Amino acid sequence: MTEIRKIDDKVSEVFIHAGDYSASVYTYGAILHTFCHCGHDVLIGYDSYEAYIGNPGHIAEVVGPFANRIAGAAFTMDGRAFVLEKNDGPNNLHSGSKNFGSKYWKIEKTDGFSVTLSLESPEAGGFPGNHHAEVTYSLSSEGKLSIHYLISSDERCPVNVTNHAYFNLNGTGDIKGHRIMIDAPEYLEVDDSLIPVRKLRTEGTDFDFSSPCAIGERRNGAYDHCFIFGNRAYAEAEGDDYRLVMTTDLPAVQLYTGEYLPDCIPGKGGRKAGPFTGFALETEFFPDFPNRPDFPGAYTEAGKPFETETVYHLMRK
C-alpha cells in the first residue's frame, strides 16, 4: 500500500509497503529516502529533507537531465555550441543548477505499490529545452524496487538520468567489507578531473569485479569509475546479512564508494554518513558522451521521450 504524509507546503513523503519491504520517497529531488526489509534500512541519508538540500554527495536524488561529467562544461550538437556551468573544476557535474535533484516534484499518481512523481524543468544551465520528467518507484513483496524514468523535452538534449542512492547493506559502519560483483569486461580510464580517457579491459586489474571482491581490498576502496556491462547489465553486492542485485537496460554503471562524502551532517538516527559509509551504483550511459561520438548515449527530441528502468532487488541472505 502507499501512504502520503505532508511535511510542509512544499514537500511530502510517500511511503510504499509491500509485505516485509518498504520504501519512502520525498517529493524534493524525488529522493529515495529509505529502502527497508523488516525495518532494516539499507540506504544512508538524513533525518529530514532539508538536510538533503545542497548536499554535495547528491545523496539519493534523481539526477538529470545529465548525470556524471561533461568535459570543459561544454559540448557541440548539430553545429551549435552549448556552454554549461562549471561546478566541478573545469567540468559540469550532474547538470549544475538544472539538476532535477535540486527541484520540487509533484505527486502525479499512486497505486497500491508505486508512486509516480513529475517535474517541469525549464531551460537552464546551458542545457537546451524545457524538460518534463517522470519517475515511478515500484516495490514488490519480493524486495524488488523498480525505478522507471520518462524524460521529454521540446528541444534536442543529451539525456543521462540516474538515481544517486548510497547503499550500506549493514546499515552502519563503512562499506569496505562489502563484496561487489559487476558483469563488466571493460571500464573507463579517467584523467585527474575524472573525465573518461579510454576504454580498458578490467581483467587482472584493480577494476576486475567479475567475481565478488571486497570494496576495500584494492585501491583502499576508492572508486568513482564507469564500468561497461558485458552480456548482462548486472551487478550485485553483499553485506553481512543482505544481498543486493541490480539490473538495468542501460549500458554502464558508475561505482562510487563515497570517498568524498561530507561528514559534517549527522546521518539518519545520528549515524555517520561520511566517507565510505555508502556505495552508489549509478546506472547510466557513458560520461561525457556529448563530446565523444564513440560513446553510447541518448537524446531527447521534441515528441520523442526517453525511457529507462533500473531494478534493485534486496534479499536477506
164 flagged as catalytic? yes
Cis bond before residue 290 (omega within 30° of 0): no
Q: What is the mean pLDDT of residues 100-105?
A: 98
**Fold entry, domain 2-316:** Beta-galactosidase; Chain A, domain 5 (2.70.98)
- Give 34's pLDDT tier (boundaries 50, 70, 90): very high
Residue 104's φ and ψ, nearest 5 degrees, are -95, 120
pLDDT for 121 equals 97
pLDDT for 155 equals 95
- Give 303's pLDDT tier (boundaries 50, 70, 90): confident
pLDDT higher than 90, residue 266: no
Q: What is the mean pLDDT of residues 65-89?
A: 97
Model confidence pLDDT, tens digit, residues 208-225: 999 999 999 999 999 999
pLDDT higher than 80, residue 77: yes
Cα(first)–Cα(last) distance of the chain, in Å?
25
pLDDT for 272 equals 83
pTM above the 0.95 mark? Answer: yes
Give rounded-to-5 percent helix, strand, coil for the chain: 10, 45, 45
pLDDT for 126 equals 97
How many C-beta atoms lie closer than 10 Å to residue 267's C-beta?
Answer: 23
311 vs 313: CA distance, rounded Å: 6
How many C-beta atoms lie closer than 10 Å to residue 311's C-beta?
Answer: 17
The single residue of 164, 225, 236, 238 carrying the catalytic annotation is 164
Nearest to 154 by CA among 135, 131, 133: 131
The single residue of 13, 61, 134, 282 carrying the catalytic annotation is 282
Q: What are the Cα distances from residue 217, in Å, to 3, 277, 296? A: 42, 16, 31
Name residues whose C-beta falls within 8 Å of residue 258's C-beta, 6 or more positions apart in sequence: 57, 166, 175, 274, 275, 276, 277, 278, 279, 280
Model confidence pLDDT, tens digit, residues 181-210: 999 999 999 999 999 999 999 999 999 999
pLDDT higher than 90, residue 302: no
Report domain extents, the chain.
Answer: 2-316
123 flagged as catalytic? no
Q: Where are the beta strands (DSSP E) in 178-279?
A: 179-182, 186-190, 196-201, 213-214, 224-228, 234-238, 242-248, 252-256
Model confidence pLDDT, tens digit, residues 43-54: 999 999 999 998
Question: Average pLDDT over the chain, rounded to whole?
Answer: 96
Q: What is the mean pLDDT of residues 103-110?
A: 98
151 vs 46: CA distance, rounded Å: 27
Model confidence pLDDT, tens digit, residues 221-249: 999 999 999 999 999 999 999 999 999 99
